């Protein structure tokens, strides 16, 4: 498999005025953190707004992790992994927004496959009924290209993955967001078309496709698998806090109900559907339906196989869902305070950025654009008798899930042959010479 070792020229923009040597240009060192949202005074973590482009952005956007064992070369960088999005629907567009918010991403989205063409792709990316107006400049460049803050993204349109130009474009990772190609033969068509890896943004069909949930089993990932699954949004909510409960108290058995916002799979008005309940008008009914989320937990926590099951209630809200879990535990004599304490410990430790705890009396809309996979509603935690525990957790089934897809893609990039992720993560670390005493960055001509 080819490694990302091809160097491409990179230089400070010609319109940037720098003094000639021997004078030195000093600029205060800027701190950049991963996109994890702005934390408010409450328990919520929200997506932060896009900041204005600066000289720092221009430079850092050109810098990516260096190949292992290589010596930094001034003016040259390693190419980013090329990413294609197949299916530019709710998750596809959320993924692109999430990726765009991470200025130090080792990925570069260069193409989307969307049956609607460039006008639809551009318009629906810019204007979103859930997320609001995208704070980025989105334009149609020509009949095959859009630009996002100056980054050119090709738009292709084909329902057959075998006909997609992945080989021609040198695609490394395909984000499979159609919900159609979720098994080996289907997702494998992207590999046949020339892509190197496929991340399915849905539960995979078939035991041959490994499933990963960030915060739970991402440590098991190896580069060998060409097709992987990010599980479902509900499994991404459920698995992290189930892991905490099992480690702290020992799960004997349990059931889960997800009160889930309606999705594009349902019908706006009564119409034919293979699931007769989903055939009914989504915005007018509470629709009981099946979910494999609870059983899928065993794919990432094998010790829980056969111990969990559940159902879904689709409700007339467009976004944000909530999981209600009831379990029997091995440990006796615990309290709701003990349960919440275990969650708080994880939220500040191993699951920071994945799990949060909320003590305020909030409702679903308050969790819109929450970056974490699940937020425990501490006031609703209960313990009945000696061994029955009830936990309620909120999740943004679009935005929070898409953040984890980006995280998983970054994990794949970090394990790419020849790529090193050593260092502080500051894109200017190897570009600048830093004076530790003054914490300044010297940028030379």
CB 357 within 8 A of CB 375: yes
Of 317, 372, 264, residue with least CA distance to 35: 372
The helix (run of H) or strand (run of E) holding residue 200 is strand 197-200
Do the bridges between strand 382-384 and strand 388-395 make them parallel or antiparallel, or are there none, so unpaired? antiparallel
CA–CA dist 325, 336 (Å, integer): 14
Whether 432 is catalytic is no
Closest listed residue to residue 209, CA positions, set 200, 218, 196: 200
Q: Whole-angstrom Cα distance, residue 132 to residue 125?
A: 10
Residues 6+ apart with CB under 8 A from 285: 316
Please state at what angle helix 336-347 crosses helix 233-249, rounded to 10 degrees. 120
Per-residue burial over 161-193, b = 16 or more CB atoms within 10 Å of its CB, e = otherwise: beebbbeebbbbbbbbbbbebbebebbbbbbeb
Q: Are 246 and 301 in contact (CB under 8 A)?
A: yes
Of the candidates 98, 233, 237, 369, the residue annotated as catalytic is 233
Cα separation, 25 vs 104, in Å, equals 23
Burial, 32: exposed, middle or buried (Cβ in 10 Å; 0-12, 13-18, 19+)?
A: middle
Asked if residue 197 lies in contact with residue 174, where contact means CB atoms within 8 angstroms, the answer is yes
Active site positions, annotated: 233
């Amino acid at each position: 498999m080819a490694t990302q070792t091809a160097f491409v020229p990179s230089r400070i923009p010609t319109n940037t005025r720098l003094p000639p040597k021997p004078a030195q240009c000093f600029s205060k060192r800027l701190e950049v953190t991963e996109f994890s949202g702005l934390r408010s005074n409450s328990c919520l973590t929200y997506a932060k707004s896009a900041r204005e482009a600066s000289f720092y952005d221009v430079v850092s956007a050109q810098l990516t992790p260096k190949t292992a064992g290589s010596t930094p070369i001034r003016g040259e960088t390693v190419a980013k992994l090329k990413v294609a999005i197949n299916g530019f629907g709710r998750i596809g567009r959320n993924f692109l927004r999430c990726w765009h918010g991470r200025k130090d991403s080792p990925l570069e989205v260069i193409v989307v496959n969307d049956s609607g063409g460039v006008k639809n792709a551009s318009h629906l990316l810019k204007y979103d009924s859930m997320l609001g107006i995208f704070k980025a400049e989105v334009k149609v460049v020509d009949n095959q290209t859009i630009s996002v803050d100056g980054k050119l993204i090709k738009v292709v349109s084909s329902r057959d993955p075998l006909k997609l130009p992945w080989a021609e474009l040198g695609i490394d990772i395909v984000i499979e967001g159609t919900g159609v190609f979720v098994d080996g033969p289907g997702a494998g068509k992207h590999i046949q078309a020339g892509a190197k890896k496929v991340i399915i943004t849905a539960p995979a069909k078939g035991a041959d496709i490994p499933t990963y949930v960030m915060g739970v089993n991402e440590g098991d990932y190896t580069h060998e698998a060409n097709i992987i699954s990010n599980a479902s949004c509900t499994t991404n909510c459920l698995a992290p806090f189930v892991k905490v409960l099992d480690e702290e108290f020992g799960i004997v058995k349990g059931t889960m109900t997800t009160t889930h916002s309606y999705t594009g799979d349902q019908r706006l008005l009564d119409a034919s559907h293979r699931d007769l309940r989903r055939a009914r008008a989504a915005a007018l009914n509470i629709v009981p339906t099946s979910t494999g989320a609870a059983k899928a937990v065993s794919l990432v926590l094998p010790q829980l196989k056969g111990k969990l099951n559940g159902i879904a209630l689709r409700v007339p809200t467009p976004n944000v869902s909530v999981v209600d879990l009831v379990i029997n535990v091995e440990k006796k004599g615990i309290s709701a305070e003990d349960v919440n304490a275990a969650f708080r410990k994880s939220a500040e430790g191993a699951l920071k950025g994945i799990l949060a705890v909320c003590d305020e009396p909030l409702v679903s809309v308050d969790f819109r654009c929450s970056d974490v996979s699940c937020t425990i509603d501490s006031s609703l935690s209960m313990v009945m008798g000696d061994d029955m525990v009830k936990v309620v957790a909120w999740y943004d089934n679009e935005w929070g899930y898409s953040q984890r897809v980006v995280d998983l893609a970054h994990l794949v990039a970090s394990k790419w042959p020849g790529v090193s992720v050593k260092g502080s993560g500051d894109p200017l670390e190897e570009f600048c010479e830093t004076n530790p005493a003054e914490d300044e960055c010297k940028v030379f001509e």
